[in-house]
Amino acid sequence: MSELDEQAIEILQKNDRGGYTVPTAKLYPYQWNWDSAFVALGFLTFDRDRAWREVELLLEGQWQNGMVPSIIFRRNDPDYFPGPAVWRTQTNSEVIPPIASTGISQPPVLASIVLKMVSSGNDQDLQRADTVFADILKWHRWYQTERLSPVSGCVATVHPWETGRDNCPDWELGLDTMQVDPELEPYVRQDIKHADPEQRPSKLQYDKYISMVKYGREQGWNQKTITTDGPFVMADPGIHFILLRANRDLLEIARLLGKAEAIIEIQRFIDHAVEATEYFWNDKLGAFTARNILNGEYSNGVSSASALCFYADVGSELQRDRTLQNLTRISKQVQYMLPSWDPDGTNFDPQRYWCGPVWPQMNYILSSGLEEQGHYALAARVRQDLSRLIEKSGFRECFNPLNGDGCIGTDFSWTAAIWLAWASPSTQEMAA
């Protein structure tokens, strides 16, 4: 075990709050949805029971309608904004989350992580998967019943934070077609106290983010209304591909558990998503990109989510070829793959949040997809680049793709987890 492996374990232990892990102290002091899923993979390398606890505690926050929220506020931390008093999800009698939480979800990578936990384990792991299976299926069903946009035929997202790629230039399309709520109460941001404002979203963006929360609150977090009438309704290739892959993986778990009815239901989700993929195809750019469902407009850049078509195993040969051409073009412009936003796109910024930096969890899933589809050289580059970044700059939240500097949070849980599970040379040797 290397020194970095030891450091990664220490970070996970330090960020452990008793069965769930915070992404990093101070900046993100709660349990985040997709962070926890990736974190479980890290724990899996040295404490399987603890890995399952992470998954189980995440599902404790699941709403009755099936949604698993993006953040679970187990205890109030005044140092974080917007906290439970702003989301106010527990005041509505129809939904009442079991634990205070946000009113939106996050990329549903959990089923894919659970399949990894099962396939690397034994009967006990399969039994534990059985206890969470119904909840995960319920979450996936929620996308079909509450979040399907009748206009686009695909799952819609109603807040940039739900995509996990919070301030990617993709979302400018949707932000441009909405107004800041004129009655927005004054608020104090906490994120810029803990991180460099230059690397965080702007004031106007933030006003719009909080206006969307106000709107959701006023609708009593009725997800159908928010999806059909809300101020921000977009299609995200990230959520689409991750959910499609998660359904394929959930189907595999259903087979292992012999769940006949679920198999039929999940297969329907998959067929539907494969068909809906066309909505994302941006022929001008030669990639699957985000779209504003409210006016059909396409995004003007390739993002790291565009590359997830391989992970979802979807798209025609031509669409995949053109996506690969884009990735090859981008690979020549950066030292480290894959930037979250196209260096040729407007608003590329190598240090600002999702406008350029490389994100560890994205490298992991997109490289896995490329490898599964036989694009070995590119897959290896994406993996090696993440190892080099962590070796150079430590366990940061994300990294500058041009010079490898670490950005935003430090001692970051998913970076440590992805290191242990996938990027560390010791793990790569074991897998070889």
Q: Restricting to residues 166-205, which ones interact with ligand GLC according to CB under 6 A?
A: 166
Sequence-ordered list of residues with C-beta below 8 angstroms from that of 138, at least 6 positions apart, any chain:
62, 66
User: Ramachandran region of residue 73, left (φ > 0), alpha (ψ -120 to 50) or beta?
Assistant: beta
Given the complex with ligand GLC, which of 34 and 73 has the nearer CB atom? Answer: 34
Annotated active-site residue 166? The verdict is yes
Check residue 341 for interaction with ligand GLC (CB under 6 A).
no
Annotated active-site residue 397? The verdict is yes
Q: How far is CA 253 from the centre of its chain?
A: 21
Give the sign of the dihedral formed by CA 121, CA 125, CA 130, CA 134. negative
Check residue 80 for interaction with ligand GLC (CB under 6 A).
no
- Cα radius of gyration (the chain): 20
Choose the catalytic residue: 166, 207, 344, 405: 166
Check residue 164 for interaction with ligand GLC (CB under 6 A).
yes
Q: Restricting to residues 107-146, which ones interact with ligand GLC according to CB under 6 A?
A: none
Q: CB 275 → ligand GLC: shortest distance, Å?
A: 28
Q: CB 103 → ligand GLC: shortest distance, Å?
A: 16
Choose the catalytic residue: 125, 170, 249, 397: 397
Q: CB 411 → ligand GLC: shortest distance, Å?
A: 12
Q: CB 430 → ligand GLC: shortest distance, Å?
A: 27
Given the complex with ligand GLC, which of 23 and 404 has the nearer CB atom? Answer: 23
Q: How many CB atoms lie within 10 A of CB 273?
A: 23
Size of the site for ligand GLC (CB under 6 A): 7
Strands 71-72 and 31-32: antiparallel
What are φ and ψ of residue 358, in 5° steps? -85, 135
Given the complex with ligand GLC, which of 32 and 269 has the nearer CB atom? Answer: 32
Q: CB 29 → ligand GLC: shortest distance, Å?
A: 10
Given the complex with ligand GLC, which of 35 and 172 has the nearer CB atom? Answer: 35
Q: CB 181 → ligand GLC: shortest distance, Å?
A: 22
Given the complex with ligand GLC, which of 51 and 408 has the nearer CB atom? Answer: 408
Given the complex with ligand GLC, which of 135 and 166 has the nearer CB atom? Answer: 166
Given the complex with ligand GLC, which of 28 and 133 has the nearer CB atom? Answer: 28
Q: CB 254 → ligand GLC: shortest distance, Å?
A: 27
Q: CB 69 → ligand GLC: shortest distance, Å?
A: 12
Given the complex with ligand GLC, which of 194 and 322 has the nearer CB atom? Answer: 194
Q: Write the interaction track for ligand GLC spanning residues 13-42; mark x where CB under 6 A is met and - where it is not.
A: ----------x----x---x-xx-------
- Residues with a catalytic annotation lie at 166, 397
Residues interacting with ligand GLC, by CB under 6 A?
23, 28, 32, 34-35, 164, 166
